[in-house]
Amino acid sequence: MRTLITGEVVDFVPTFNAHLDEKGLFLSEDGDFAITVDTGFNGGIAIPLEMLGEMDVEFFGYDTLALATGDIVELPMFMGKVILDDYESVTWFIPGDSLLGMAFLSAVGSILCFDFENETVELKR
């Protein structure tokens, strides 16, 4: 089992660090913004629309999604690249808060470990 990335759990909120460039979204421990692990989000990755503009993403279409509030919204979907160390994955992105969803997490990892005592979260493969 190999750890792909380690993050932190603060006030019961698990996050990984990330940074963007034109190549894609890099999940790395030295990233410049936090992205929340959201086990209630069934999708790929959500990031603010202005951040999507900094990436090389391709418009894929629209999808209807249910938000945590219960609201049903139609959002644009984009395909883009995510890089974790030497591992690359193509996934879909939607505009929104910075969130990693279950579709992405299950595609790149096989174990998601929360260690509340040490305040860490790890994605393993």
pLDDT attached to residue 99: 96
CATH topology of domain 3-124: Cathepsin D, subunit A; domain 1 (2.40.70)
Give how far Cα 92 sits from Cα of 4, 9, 33, 109, 113, Å: 19, 25, 19, 16, 23
**Are the CB atoms for 91 and 36 separated by under 8 Å?**
no
Mean pLDDT score, 60-71: 88
pTM: predicted TM-score of the whole model, two decimal places: 0.91
pLDDT tens, position by position, 4-45: 999 999 999 999 999 998 889 999 988 999 999 999 898 899
**Are the CB atoms for 122 and 8 separated by under 8 Å?**
no
pLDDT grade for 87, boundaries at 50, 70 and 90: confident
User: Average pLDDT, whole number, for the chain?
Assistant: 93
Dmax (CA) of the chain: 42
Strands (E), 1-125: 3-10, 13-21, 24-27, 33-37, 45-47, 58-66, 72-84, 87-95, 99-100, 111-115, 120-124
pLDDT attached to residue 51: 93
Cα Rg of the chain, angstroms: 14
The more confidently predicted of residues 68 and 84 is 84
Q: List residues bridging with 88 in a β-sheet.
A: 83
